[in-house]
Every structure is written in structure tokens, then in C-alpha cells.
A and B are shown apart, each in its own frame.
Chain A
């Protein structure tokens, strides 16, 4: 598995493109993270919290009826069964433990759909940190339920009114607040994005998905999957599951991006599919942008994938050819959402529905001897109101 170089690069992607005011905090975080990662007692506590609080290991479930599942074996890594309903909490537990180790006084976080905000509010409550969550004003409206859940958990949600008022702007604001309170506050980033060491650190906290999947796959099926599929917003659930298999060259890795209305429609969130190399939120990676280097407005049915950038390690895996990135549209994801719910009795997050939609396409090209593994990154309860409104169901 690739480690970033000392400057935080995976190949030519990553780095630290942030104001000077944050460099010392990133340096100190790197030192503390490195010490913690080498300390068995840190991982022991992380594992304990994941077991007793989050409910890990998450099940590996074999689908029976969805798509071609009767012909081509299809496994689902059930991150939807985690406490708070998505993979996001694996990462917030890890970062909260680091924040405590560093003696930080409070946590700040950005959130789009609210899943990462909820996961941060949850660990804030558990470990006794005050939590401030920055969220685009448009998302505050769209995700009213998660906003209230964060309040119940004692977090303060700050609507961000600058720019497009979505995740990109919430992230800008979290960086600005961090710059002002860099001594006291720990910035809990929600995906494998941001300046070094965040992309690497978040991957290490999500790696548990891939490690568990690989182990259980071998134990129960006696072999590795032939294909591993995950949706990619910033890319944390995908890096988490990929991490278990990246050193097994025979396992094909598939990242599924949100095409929105189509990769070439201009209404998309597929950074790797439709973007160019650029710099956003502290790292060099692929980015949806116009010819002048201004970040483009994005669109996806799924708030969690509605982000113009993507983690630098995905850019690296794309360039090296180790992983392949494919688009799935809003309409395809919505179809998969219903079809999967009705075939398996599991309502997927609309983010995860993108991966599930591609699994069905891929199964058509695979046979009974293949084994497809999909990361079911979250559950769909949070999306019910939106899906209901979109489909016009009373």
C-alpha cells in the first residue's frame, strides 16, 4: 500500500496548499499521528470503541436477489449497520482519539449531507468535546433532519452563506475557523481530502473496512473478490475498502463517481471523470473547474457525493491504472435505490446506491466464478424525505 512521501504526495498528487498559519498545526498533527499510529495502545482503544460503540465488525452480507446476484456472487460490506448509519464514524472515532491525545479543547467539522457532521457530533458527545459544524446554508435546508440530530447531540451547526452554500463552502469556512483557533481546535475532516496528513490519516482510519472485508472473504469464501466497488465523493469509504485489496493485483478496484445528469452535462460531480488536475482545499488532485481555474458548481442527487474535488490518492490510483473510475447518473442511482431495497430488504444511502447500480452493470460481464464485493457505505433513512419528494410519492 502506497505511503505518501514526506511532503504528503502520492505520486504527483497531494501536498499542502494551505496558508502559512496552518502549517505548524499540520506539522504537529503529523508528528502526533505518527506517534499514535506506532503506539499499540492507541489502536487498542480505537478497536475497542469501534467494537462496543460503533458495532464492528460490520457484517459481510451475500445478496440473493438483486440484479444478477443469483448468478454472479455479490457481497456487501455492511457499513450501513454502523452506529450513526455510515462509514463516517470510523474516521471520527480515530480523529477524536487523536484530538484527545493532543489535548485539544474542541472539534470543528465541515459537512455536506450531514453524515460526517452527525458522526463528529456523536464522538464529540462521547468524548466530551464541544463540536462546531460548518454546513452550507443550502444543505442546512436540504438536510433538516441531520441538522436537528446534531443539535440533539449537543453540537452547534453554523450555516455558511458564502459561495454556493454547499460542502465546498462549508469546507472553506471550516479551514478559516481553524486558522483562527488553531491552538485549541482540532479540525476533523470528513474524507480523504485536505492537506497532508489528512488524506493519509483518514484512509488509515477507514482501512478497517478493507481489512475486515478481506479477512472475512477469505474465511468464508476461501478466496479474494474479483472486483471491489465503492462510491467516491471525497473518496473515504472507497479508500477504506480499497486499502484491503490494493496489494492484491488480481483484485480489480472500481470507484463510482456521481455523474449527476451525465459526465458531459455540466451538471455533474464526477471529478475524476470530467475534471482536470488542480488545487482545492489543500491538495493537488482532480477538480471540476472552468478554464480559468475557478471551481465549478457541482450537481448530484446525493449530497454526500456532491463535491468538486476528490482525494489525491484516488487521482494517483487513476493515473497508475490500479483503480478504474466510472460514472453513474442520478437516474441510475435512484433506480438502484428502489430495486436494491425491494430485492434485499436494505435501503441503501443514495451515495451507496451509485456503487450498487454499477455492481449490476458489472455483473452482466461476470460469471458464477467471479465474486463482486460492494461497499454499502451507509443506510438510506436520511434520504427518504428527498427521494419521496423527488418521486412525487405522497
Chain B
């Protein structure tokens, strides 16, 4: 069901723009305002992080955002309530991003049910790879939720093909080794090669994330991929602000990126 956003974007000669924010950073009301601002700015979908204290796949920016949310005891249930409100306001599709243990403790079946009820479209679990993902993706699918899987630069081509066939919604192409963070620019060459290999085995949409942080990156990636995920740089852009101020900063930050996602532009 998430695939539709990529079709719509492609028809408009754009790559789908998918910003990432951490729910509850610095508080849930601010996140609600940010989700609205992102929808209004034209985000095709929004990745919404469920805070977790031991995020193995995240760099300092997202780890710190999670700590700020946890300082306010933001829970899985709180995040689902936020999604429900956002969807009631006709907000952009939500892709939940959560480590495994919080949803394991919540109960996988119950989580899938409640996330679907709240109106989420998909769930990404960065510490679940192909091997451990079977049960979870089946449970999510029963509730109509997609589960995009990640492909890393270190993933072998043979394995990438298997991931591509299991992945639903889109395939999350990790642009470089390491963890999330705005630091080093992804190598376009390596990325182009990875995407070429993936295209040969799948027709599912490919969205690129990790390290995409400015309009120039977005322009480079827009010509290669079906979607672009921007996280740490966005979180840095509103760090220290809250409420409408944070939402305004978010909007100022994403507008040029969304413009850059238009690949029909010269």
C-alpha cells in the first residue's frame, strides 16, 4: 500500500521525499506540529521514530533525540496515539521506525493490530534482518502493514535479491557503512552500482537513506532512487526548539530539499 506514494511521486517527476523525526523529541505536542508541517510542505510519507534507549543502528543525533523523548517517558502507546491524531487530520502516510525490543514487549500481534488501527502504513525495524524477520513481517502483513527491509553496502548481491523479494512497501537502501548521521556524504558511485544490481532483481521502489543531509545530496540521489529518507540533518535543524518554532524550522529546512527531489528540474 505504501508503494502508491512512489507511483504518485514518479508521475509528478519527483523522487518521494520521506523525512524522519523522533516521536516525543522534545515533546509529543512538538512532534504533532512537526508532522503537520511536514505534511503541508509536501512530504510523501513520514518516518516516525519510536524512542529506544539502545539504538544500535543510530548515530549520536538520533540517539540523543531518543534520550530526550525517553526523559519524558514516551511509550509505544503514546506514539500510536500521535499517529492516530495525525491520520485523523489527513496527515501524510506514517512509517513507524522502531527497534525490536519495545514492540516485542508490547506483543507483536497487539502491536500490529494497534499500529494498523492507528493508521500507520508500515513498520521498519532496523535490528531485524532477513533471518529474524519472518514472523514479524507475517504478523504485520495480516494487519495490512508493510515491512520494508534494509540493504546495506556490505550486503552481498545474492542476499540483496532475497531481501528484495521479502521486503514490502519499499526497499531501504543504506547509502554507506555505519550508522545514521549527517556526517559523511554517501558515495554516489557505489550507490549507483548497488541500485543497478537491485533494479535487476526487483521492481519494488528503492528509497535511499543514511547521511542524506542537503539539497545537493537529494539532487544526486533523486536521479537514482525512488525515494529519499532524511533524518539526522532534519533533527539537527530543529534541535533546541519546540512547538511552532520547531515546526517552522522544519518547514524551512525541508522546502529546498523537496524542491531538489524534483528530477525534472534542470
Give residues in A with beta carbon < 8 Å to B. Answer: 7, 15-25, 162-163, 168-169, 172, 175-176, 179-183, 276, 278-282, 287, 289, 291-295
Contacts and interface: CB of A to CB of B under 8 A. Distances in A.
Contacts of B88: none
A280 B177 contact: no
Contacts of B156: 24
A19 B105 contact: no
A92 to B, nearest CB: 23
A367 B70 CA distance: 52
Given A17-B100, A24-B152, A176-B58, 4 more contacts: A278-B104, A292-B105, A293-B52, A293-B76
Contacts of A287: 101
B79 to A, nearest CB: 11
Contact of B101 (A20, A182, A279): A279
Given A16-B131, A17-B127, A20-B155, A180 B178 contact: yes
A280 B159 contact: no
Contacts of B75: 292
Contacts of B70: 294
Interface of B: 52-60, 63-64, 67, 70, 75-76, 100-106, 126-132, 149-156, 159, 163, 174, 177-179
A293 B102 contact: yes
Contacts, number: 126
Contacts of B152: 19-21, 23-24
Which one of A19, A21, A183, A289 has the highest number of Cβ atoms from chain B below 10 Å of its Cβ?
A21
A20 B104 contact: no
Contact of B174 (A15, A21, A289): A21
B102 A292 contact: yes
Contact of B177 (A16, A23, A162, A181): A181
B151 A20 contact: yes
B46 to A, nearest CB: 21
Nearest to A181: B177
Contact of B54 (A18, A21, A183, A280): A280
Contacts of A20: 129-130, 149-152, 154-155, 163, 174
A278 B101 contact: yes
Which one of A18, A19, A278, A279 has the highest number of Cβ atoms from chain B below 10 Å of its Cβ?
A19
